[in-house]
Structure 1
């Protein structure tokens, strides 16, 4: 007698949890600072009628654009789960080396002025490669590595400049920071274009998904077939390149490279990233959020300046904003910021 074995139907794999709500929440967080920006604009106009004038707003955006590139750079690194403290030194050293090699008198004058931009960007790439080799290849702690690089690079700029400011920069080096395109400073256009590119890359491409996956769980990313080392190297090198470009914009606007260029900028950068919703733990945050963060900070600084508040208090405010943003992030997300 034959027995008929009745096979149970295969159990369908459980559907992944609906992420629609999470995506909608992320989009809402991107817009969270918009009301605050509107409020600051209203208060600024009440404090001083000059605030909303075209010239003042253009001045805010232009001075913001240089540090904003550092914010964009740090956002990329934070999303991937790392931290780069050396960006502020790259911001000064990259254009400093370009000035040292292209001007006579204070510098060596070894290269024609047209080489200033390529040299600046190349220095940024080299610094990024060194950071990536130490962090990714040798597995060293990223915080300690970039802290050490911050000190080394700052010392190099002080050494080659003799502690003085480089003047008489070649015209090519001043072009991006001083020229206007369609009546708006070129630095603003570059900043907006690069942030737009960042929004597209991180939000709508496989590269962006890889960055978030690595920042969320690097072991899971490896298991999914993501080439984590390559992505990490690309993120660190891109960040240093953006920092070098930001330093070039500032040098072009001021027509000089100070020995202290970039000193302390990293605090503003972290303040902007944190209040813009970028997680210090990696895997969370958006480029648009980071942009609204740095915009809000510079609008606040401008209002305080127009109100006659001493600059020292503005620095204290940035620190307070970081603490408040961390508390709000903890309350709204339920996750700790380690």
Structure 2
């Protein structure tokens, strides 16, 4: 009689773990199906103008997703990224632009070329303050970043006086409008940043440390990883990326609206989660997160070409988040409450 294989917890959970290995690629068939549907819906789908337009519209959201993915891999989340994309360029132009009367009350203290560095500096400052409150004062990260989201949104509306800011410095609008080799510069920049981030996570010591911290912060600390320092750096980097997304968005549309970025955090979480980044930390890749962004944008593009009212977009994003959580529950191999 042949011996009976012993059933162990490892052998029982093995199918889930094997399936989890392919979560980062799970959206590739979805993208293919969306492409086929797009071709059927409209012959304009495969035109260069349409595809480059989808890519251009994806860049700002992609940078927020890149920031959120890095933070979530480290076991944290940052809700204030939604406000940073708007408030950082608003503060920069407030310091750079002169008083425009009833249109905008600028201070005009600094030269035009400083608008981009100022914007990135504001982003870094927001991330640093969030990190201080979370890591040094040990406040709840969700509540801190939620409070920051509200505070920064109010600051943005107050400085912009509730209206759009136009006549912006050319240094602030160049990257959002420029094209390099026939492709929007924002797409080249976004692709480069994702490639750099993916390489860092895969090959650099600090990048690999993010997975260790997100998986078990205490074990990572016991292994000699400077957990608080690395998490603080990631929070700052995430806010800088959000501020840079604000630069691209501002240049793309040629103005800064009083509600710039409002409601984006839902799309950010939707793209990040369906792209395979775990809400519990320690799992996911930037490639998966990028496919999440492209999936959301292609869904919107196909719906637009099909004549579906854009009012359904928010409903669809919510449905995608819930579906992603269901998929995550059965493919991650993690126990969830």
TM over 0.5: yes
Question: Contact 1:279–1:337 (CA<8 Å) still a contact in 2?
Answer: no
Question: Contact 1:281–1:337 (CA<8 Å) still a contact in 2?
Answer: no
Q: Following superposition of structure 1 onto structure 2, how do residues 320-335 of structure 1 map, counting pairs within 5 Å?
A: 320-335=319-334
| Cα distance change of structure 1 residues 25 and 193 upon mapping to structure 2, 3 Å threshold | farther
Question: Contact 2:73–2:214 (CA<8 Å) still a contact in 1?
Answer: yes
Q: Which runs of 5+ in 2 are unaligned?
A: 1-9
Find 2:44's aligned residue among 32, 47, 50.
50
- Superposed displacement of residue 148, structure 1: 0.3
Find 1:89's aligned residue among 83, 95, 100.
83
Q: Following superposition of structure 1 onto structure 2, how do residues 295-334 of structure 1 map, counting pairs within 5 Å?
A: 295-334=294-333
Deviations 1:78-130 (A, max 9, x none): 00111100001000000111111222212222211101100000000000000
2:232 match: 233
1:186 match: 185
| Cα distance change of structure 1 residues 46 and 56 upon mapping to structure 2, 3 Å threshold | same
Q: Which runs of 5+ in 1 are unaligned?
A: 1-16
CA-based RMSD: 1.7
Pair 1:28 & 2:22 matched = yes
1:172 match: 171
Q: Following superposition of structure 1 onto structure 2, how do residues 164-313 of structure 1 map, counting pairs within 5 Å?
A: 164-313=163-312
Question: Contact 2:23–2:331 (CA<8 Å) still a contact in 1?
Answer: no
- Superposed displacement of residue 235, structure 1: 0.7
Find 2:92's aligned residue among 91, 94, 98.
98
2:54 match: 60
Q: Secondary structure at the match of 1:301?
A: helix
Question: Contact 2:17–2:331 (CA<8 Å) still a contact in 1?
Answer: no
Query: TM-score normalised to the size of structure 2?
Result: 0.92
- Superposed displacement of residue 334, structure 1: 3.3
Instruction: Work out the number of aligned pairs and report it.
Output: 321
Moved more, 119-128 or 24-33: 24-33
Question: Contact 2:20–2:332 (CA<8 Å) still a contact in 1?
Answer: no
Question: Contact 1:86–1:150 (CA<8 Å) still a contact in 2?
Answer: yes
| Cα distance change of structure 1 residues 140 and 304 upon mapping to structure 2, 3 Å threshold | same
- Superposed displacement of residue 29, structure 1: 1.9
How far apart, in 2, do the equivalents of 1:24 and 1:120 lie?
A: 43
1:139 match: 138
How far apart, in 2, do the equivalents of 1:158 and 1:275 lie?
A: 32
Pair 1:130 & 2:146 matched = no
Moved more, 182-191 or 102-111: 102-111
| Cα distance change of structure 1 residues 321 and 177 upon mapping to structure 2, 3 Å threshold | same
1:9 match: none
- Superposed displacement of residue 274, structure 1: 0.6
2:67 match: 73
How far apart, in 2, do the equivalents of 1:129 and 1:51 lie?
A: 42
Question: Contact 2:54–2:298 (CA<8 Å) still a contact in 1?
Answer: yes
How far apart, in 2, do the equivalents of 1:145 and 1:285 lie?
A: 24
How far apart, in 1, do the equivalents of 2:16 and 2:185 lie?
A: 37
How far apart, in 1, do the equivalents of 2:334 and 2:146 lie?
A: 26
- Superposed displacement of residue 30, structure 1: 1.7
Q: Secondary structure at the match of 1:285?
A: coil
How far apart, in 2, do the equivalents of 1:272 and 1:336 lie?
A: 22
How far apart, in 2, do the equivalents of 1:21 and 1:332 lie?
A: 9
How far apart, in 2, do the equivalents of 1:59 and 1:27 lie?
A: 32
1:40 match: 34
How far apart, in 2, do the equivalents of 1:211 and 1:334 lie?
A: 20
Deviations 1:171-207 (A, max 9, x none): 1000110001111111000100000011101122111
